[in-house]
């Protein structure tokens, strides 16, 4: 059966690769047009299958999560997908490009979320302290846009603080330490009651139009479509930025470090510096995703940032195809969308994620949609194993 699976896998990968090749050979204007159409389609997604005048397209409508009984809000699911894609892009910089397995990514996500909660909500002890100290009115809080900046900077700084001592460690150790770091953040958020409100969490986290209230015209709690469009815009901007980064000197250094750290060091790439960069940039992206998440739900508490979610993030990256931005985005969308659409099996989602991780690693370690370079690397290693079977 394993062989049959392998054969199917190979055919699927072959089709994907040939499609990729054909895309590459298209003239530039056709590619830009295709891309533009795709982006337009993404913005159109909340209306998927619904025509003006109340008409419904049955096939497409079935894809919506609200087409099943008790299904979740379709735009809400899209928003979650977009946030997870942002997380996957950030984590891909750390795992896929720089080759650092970060199991505590949820920590940065949480820091971003708490960044907006602590400074933007009138219910947060930090804001209340400011109010008491500087005699500010009880409605005073930091505006949302400044909170975005604060969340980003906090996540970036925490990435550097965590990376500084730990990035000297090699792969496995780093993974365990980051796992511990994610837990530390969660426990601190739970225990530091006079800063984070502890287990009760923080409510009334603001959105672009201020704290949640009936006056909010666009970014309210009922209609999630604007939130999705906002998140999608952020994702597209970040995809563009990370793509530029990937093909820059920094990106090439990351790949060199991932493939062979010692060789890269000998060739004049200072690994520590670039690893720290990867960690900090990844952390900032994760923090921004957490910021969007907290703003949309207007309430956070420490239980939302548990280890399972952190492992889900890693699963998105490795199942999709670490090192390839399209791959990790597809992984993120799949892992966020499938349990919502097929609610009958939603209980088994963690089991399915675990199985998917094991199966993908054994059958196809480069992921469902691999980056070409990564696929070649793994092939090389397999070839080496053939040559020297005695080696462990």
* C-alpha–C-alpha distance, residues 392 and 386, integer Å: 12
To other proteins, the closest distance from the beta carbon of 115 in angstroms equals 21
**What tokens does 10 get?**
């190979």
To other proteins, the closest distance from the beta carbon of 196 in angstroms equals 13
* C-alpha–C-alpha distance, residues 196 and 189, integer Å: 6
To other proteins, the closest distance from the beta carbon of 277 in angstroms equals 19
* Cβ-based nearer residue to other proteins, 67 or 306: 306
Other CB atoms within a 10 A radius of the CB of residue 263 amount to 11
* Cβ-based nearer residue to other proteins, 101 or 264: 101
Decide: residue 292, CB within 10 A, 0-12 exposed, 13-18 middle, 19+ buried. buried
* Cβ-based nearer residue to other proteins, 84 or 219: 84
* C-alpha–C-alpha distance, residues 288 and 271, integer Å: 26
CA gyration radius for the chain?
A: 22
Q: Residue 201 contacts by C-beta under 8 Å, 6 or more apart in sequence?
A: 299, 300, 301, 302
Query: Where does this chain bind other proteins (CB under 8 A)?
Result: 95, 99, 101, 103, 165-166, 168-169, 171-173, 175-177, 179-181, 183-184, 187-188, 190-191, 303, 306-309, 311, 314-315, 318, 346-348, 350-351, 353-358, 361-362, 365, 378, 381-382, 384-385, 390-392
To other proteins, the closest distance from the beta carbon of 269 in angstroms equals 19
To other proteins, the closest distance from the beta carbon of 172 in angstroms equals 4
Task: Note whether 314 and 91 are within 8 A (CB).
Answer: yes
| Three-state SS at 50 | strand
Q: How many Cα atoms are found within 13 Å in the side-chain-facing hemisphere of 45?
A: 23
To other proteins, the closest distance from the beta carbon of 110 in angstroms equals 15
Buried b (16+ CB within 10 A) or exposed e, 31-41: eeeeeeeeeee
To other proteins, the closest distance from the beta carbon of 101 in angstroms equals 5
* C-alpha–C-alpha distance, residues 283 and 187, integer Å: 19
């Amino acid at each position: 059966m394993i062989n049959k699976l392998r054969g199917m896998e190979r055919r699927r990968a072959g089709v994907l690769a040939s499609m990729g090749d054909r895309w590459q050979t298209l003239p530039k204007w056709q590619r830009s047009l295709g891309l533009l159409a795709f982006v337009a389609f993404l913005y159109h997604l909340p209306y998927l299958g619904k025509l003006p005048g109340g008409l419904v397209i049955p096939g497409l409508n079935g894809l919506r999560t609200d087409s099943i009984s008790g299904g979740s809000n379709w735009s809400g699911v899209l928003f979650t997908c977009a946030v997870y894609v942002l997380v996957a892009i950030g984590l891909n910089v750390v795992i896929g490009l720089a080759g650092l397995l970060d199991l505590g990514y949820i920590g940065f996500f949480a820091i971003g979320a708490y960044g907006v909660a602590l400074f933007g909500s009138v219910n947060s002890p930090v804001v209340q302290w400011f109010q008491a100290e500087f005699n500010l009115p009880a409605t005073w809080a930091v505006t949302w846009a400044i909170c975005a900046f604060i969340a980003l900077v906090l996540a970036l700084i925490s990435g550097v603080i965590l990376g500084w001592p730990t990035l000297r460690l090699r792969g496995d150790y780093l993974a365990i330490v980051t796992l511990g770091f994610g837990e530390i953040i969660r426990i601190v958020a739970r225990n530091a009651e006079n800063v984070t409100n502890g287990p009760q969490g923080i409510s009334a986290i603001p959105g672009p139009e201020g704290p949640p209230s009936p006056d909010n015209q666009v970014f309210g709690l009922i209609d999630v479509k604007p939130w999705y469009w906002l998140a999608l815009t952020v994702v597209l901007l970040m995809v563009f930025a990370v793509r530029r980064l990937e093909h820059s000197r920094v990106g090439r250094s990351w790949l060199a470090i991932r493939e062979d750290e010692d060789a890269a060091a000998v060739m004049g790439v200072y690994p520590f510096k670039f690893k720290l960069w990867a960690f900090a940039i990844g952390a900032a992206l994760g923090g921004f995703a957490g910021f969007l998440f907290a703003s949309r739900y207007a309430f956070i508490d420490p239980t939302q940032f548990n280890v399972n979610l952190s492992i889900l993030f890693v699963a998105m990256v490795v199942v999709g195809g670490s090192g390839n931005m399209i791959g990790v985005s597809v992984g993120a969308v799949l892992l966020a969308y499938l349990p919502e659409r097929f609610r009958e099996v939603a209980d088994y989602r963690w089991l399915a994620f675990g199985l998917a991780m094991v199966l993908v690693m054994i059958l196809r370690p480069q992921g469902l949609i691999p980056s070409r370079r990564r696929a070649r690397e793994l092939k090389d290693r397999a070839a080496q194993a053939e040559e020297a079977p005695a080696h462990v």
